[in-house]
Structure 1
Amino acid sequence: MPAAEQMSRGEAGDFLQSLLNKNLRVTTTDARMFWGGFKCTDPESNVILQHTYEYRHPSTQQLLLAEAVATTGNNNNGTIKMEMQSRYLGLVVIPGKYITKIEVEEFASQLPK
C-alpha cells in the first residue's frame, strides 16, 4: 500500500496544510512544469498555484534549427545549449488527472534539524 494511502485523513490534512504558500514544481503529462505558491487542492486532486510560471522544453522544430546551426557553423564543437521557455501565468488550476510529479521547493535553512 503506498504511503499516501496509509495516512489518516487528519494526517493528510496536516501535511497539505504544511505545504500552504510553499513553492511547488508541478510536472504534467505533456512535460510542462509549473512553479508557484501552493494555495489549495480539492477531492479530485486539482492543484491551485499562485504567482505561477510555466516552463516548456524547446519544440522539435527549435531543436532541429539549433542542431542545423551548430553542425554547419563552428559553434562549440557541435554542442547545443537551449533554455526552457517560460511565461508568467498568475493564478492557475492544474487538473489532477494530468499531474505526474509534485516537488516542494525547500532550502537547507527550512529543513528540520
Structure 2
Amino acid sequence: MDKIAAKAEAEEFLKSLLNRNLRVYTTDGRLFVGNFKCTDTHSNIVLSLTYEYRQPSQQKLAEAAAAASTSAEPGKSTVTADMPSRYLGLVVIPGHHIVKMEVEEFASQVKSRSIFERRDLYGGR
C-alpha cells in the first residue's frame, strides 16, 4: 500500500469515529468517556459531553478490601471499589498522555449497524 492510500485509509477510519463514544485511558490512570469530535497532527483528542473517572484512593481500596474480607466466603478474594467520576463537558486530551482508546459500543448499536451493512450489501438504500 502506498503512502497516499494509507493516508486516505487513516482519514476514512478517523471519519468513521466522529460522533462516536470513546473511552480514552491516560498515563495518570484517568479514564475519559466522551463523544469524539476531532484530532490533530499531534494526536490530541477533543471529546464533548465527557465524564472523567479516577482510580479510587489507597484509603478507599483498603476500606473495600476490609469490607470484602469480613463478608466474603472462604476462598473468594474479589474486591470492588467505585471509580469516582465528574462531568467535564468539552475536553482536549494531549496525545502524549493517551495510553489506550476504545470505541464504546452497545449491543443495540452493533445490531443496527449490521442491519445497515446488510442493506448496503443487497443494494437497498
Check whether TM > 0.5: yes
Contact 2:60/2:81 (<8 A) preserved? no
Change (3 A) 1:34 1:61: same
3-state SS, counterpart of residue 10 of structure 2: helix
Query: 1:95 — aligned with what?
Result: 94
* Higher helix residue share: 2
Question: Across the two proteins, how many residue pairs are aligned to each other?
Answer: 107
TM-score by length of 1: 0.80
Aligned to 2:34: 36
Q: Please list, as runs of the form range in 1=range in 2, the aligned pairs for 1:22-61 lying within 5 A after superposition.
A: 22-61=20-59
* 1:39-89, Cα deviation, whole Å (9 max, x unpaired): 000000000000001111211121123334444x5x334753211111111
Gaps of 5+ in 2: 119-125
- Percent identity over the alignment is 53
Aligned residue in 1 for 2:79: 80
Q: Measure, in 2, the Cα distance between the counterparts of 1:7 and 1:36.
A: 30
- Could you tell me which residue of structure 2 aligns to residue 108 of structure 1? 110
Deviation at 1:7, TM superposition (A): 6.0
RMSD in angstroms over aligned alpha carbons?
2.2
Q: Normalising by structure 2, what TM-score?
A: 0.73
Unaligned runs of 5+ in 1: none
In the alignment, what sits opposite 2:121?
Answer: none
